[in-house]
Amino acid sequence: MAHFDKKAKPFSHQWLNDRLAVDTVKKVLSTEYWIPKNINFLWAMGMILAATFGLLLVSGIFLLMYYKPDTKLAFDSVNYTIMTEVGYGWLWRHIHGVAASVVFLIIYIHMFTGIYYGSYKKGREMIWLSGMLLFVVFSAEAFSGYMLPWGQMSYWAGMVITNLFSLGSLDIQAIVEWIRGDYVPGDAFLTRFFMLHVLLLPLVILALIVFHFATLRIPHVNNQDGEEIDFEESAKLYKEGNKKESKVIPFNPVFLSKDIFVMGIYFVLFFYLVFYHFEFAMDPVNFDPADGLKTPVHIYPEWYFLWSYEILRPFSKDIGLIAFGFAQVAFFLLPFLDKSPVVAPANRRGLFKFWFWIMLVDMIVLTIMGKLPPEGAWNIIGLVAALTFIVLFAVLPFITKFEKKA
């Protein structure tokens, strides 16, 4: 039985401390959660992601008040009721649409920051894996949300993506029909993806965000030079007032002050997109109502899925599906494929330097090719880029094994 101060007034500091250990919690999670001082603005991407998720959640709540998950009503509930009748409905929709697109840009920057600085290894594997899980669930969340306006792109994306689950030439239609609850994407499909989008997947995301934060606490955040810091010693220096000598800063308020400044710049850009440049995130074709008898002339996923879509496209059906499956899990394997113990920026890591920049450029090439019509030279470039992607993962263990220790 713990000791309780019987004289403490209800809800006083002492009273709460006896019951909830608020001082300890505050120290562990905030004022004595030590972050390396040697960081740049890329370290703010995590909090920016959290903030963007917050925007998605809030705007989503307001959209949910008027959205109708019914194939007959969905399109007009979004495009008429929300966009023209609901006070500031257009604002919530634009925030939701733009944030859903921009969140992936930030995720990719966050991911490539981790890859560049080697933040996925030597005790930080669980950070990487939980982050990759978040990426996958965010992808599912984005896809299920894309169904909801029930426009042409919603319908045909739903058709094509669910068809992937027939498993190539095994052609198991039963799985596809089970996922859809119908022979084609219809009312059952829309309603269950609505459920996934507004309940199940957000719950999973929230749990995973908590888990992702938890995985950071013990190994601590990496720094710009991959330096191994003695956090206890540095923390002692900081607390004694030797802030210049200490290599760490507390999460709150010092690290947070920088995060919030970066977030401010991000929000300026973000709201510029919301008000003046939202077309990239709200595809015009999806303003045509779903029509199961007419495929749009050009059909392509949202930009953040294009690279993996392009890995599927240049190959025959079965090989394409296997390549696509590989692309989905490849990044999970990174901590185990990288055999080098060195934690340092890619530019200081021999061949890995080339690996990193080729990978980055290759993903962008795949992304661009993924949207172009599959014809002529685009097909060849797409094929080369897809093969490059696979080869890069295949050679990673070898080039990192012989990496010189820095």
Partner 1 sequence: MKEFKILAVVAFFTLVTYWGVEPFAHSQMHKHVEGNNFAYDGKADVEESAMAIEAAKNIENPAKKAAVIDKATKKLAEKKAFWADVNAISKIKGNAASGEALFASCMGCHNGSGVNMGGVIPPSLDHAGSLYDKKYLIALLKDPAIASNVDHKYENTMMHPMGTVKTMVTTPQQIADVVEFIKTKKVGKLEPKQAFLEACARCHADRYGNITQLGEMPKFKTEKEALEYKIKVLAEQDAIKAYMGKLPPDLSIISRARSEHFIKTFIENPQSQLPGTSMPRVGLTKEGFEKVYTYLEETGDPSKDARHALGPWVILFFVVFTILAYLWKKSQWKDLH
Partner 2 sequence: MSSRRDFMGMALGGFAALGGIAALYAAKRTWDPLPSVSAAGFTTIDLSAAKENELAVEKWRGKPIFILKKSSSMPKSDRDIEVGGNRYLVAIGLCTHLGCVPAYLPSDYMFKCACHGGEFDAAGINTFGPPPSPLVIPPFKINGNSIVLGEEGPEYKKMKDAGLTA
Q: Alpha-carbon distance 1 to 283, whole Å? A: 61
Alpha-carbon span 283 to 286, nearest angstrom: 6
* Minimum distance of partner 2 from residue 86's CB (angstroms): 6
Report the residue from 92, 116, 331, 389 that binds partner 2 according to the rule CB under 8 A. 92
**232 is a contact residue toward partner 2 (CB under 8 A):** no
Binding mask 52-91 for partner 2 (x = CB under 8 A): ----------x--x---------------x---xxxxx-x
Q: Taking CB within 5 to 8 Å according to partner kind, which of partner 1, partner 2, none is near residue 50? A: none
Nearer to partner 2, 90 or 398 (CB): 90
Q: Which neighbouring-strand residues pair with 249? A: 35
Upper half-sphere CA count for residue 47 (Cβ side, 13 Å): 18
| Helices then strands, each counted (H, E), the chain | 17, 2
Interface pattern 3-42 for partner 2 (x via CB under 8 A): ----------------------------------------
- Cα distance between residue 395 and residue 398, in whole Å: 5
Cβ-contact 69, 148 below 8 angstroms: yes
Q: Which does 217 bind (CB under 5 to 8 A by kind): partner 1, partner 2, none?
A: none
- Tokens standing for residue 285: 């074709």
- The partner in contact with residue 398, picked from partner 1, partner 2, none with C-beta cut-offs of 5 to 8 angstroms by kind, is none
CB of 58 to partner 2, least distance (A): 8
Neighbours of 234 (CB within 10 A): 19
How would you class 55 by CB atoms within 10 Å of its CB: exposed for 0-12, middle for 13-18, buried for 19 or more?
buried
Binding partner of residue 249 among partner 2, partner 1, none, CB cut-off 5 to 8 Å per kind: partner 1
| Rounded Cα–Cα distance for residues 302 and 102 (Å) | 11
String of contacts with partner 1 for each residue 282-301, x by CB under 8 A: x-xx-xx--------xx-x-
Comparison of 30 and 113: residue with beta carbon closer to partner 2: 30
Residues that bind partner 2 (CB under 8 A): 62, 65, 81, 85-89, 91-92, 253, 257, 260
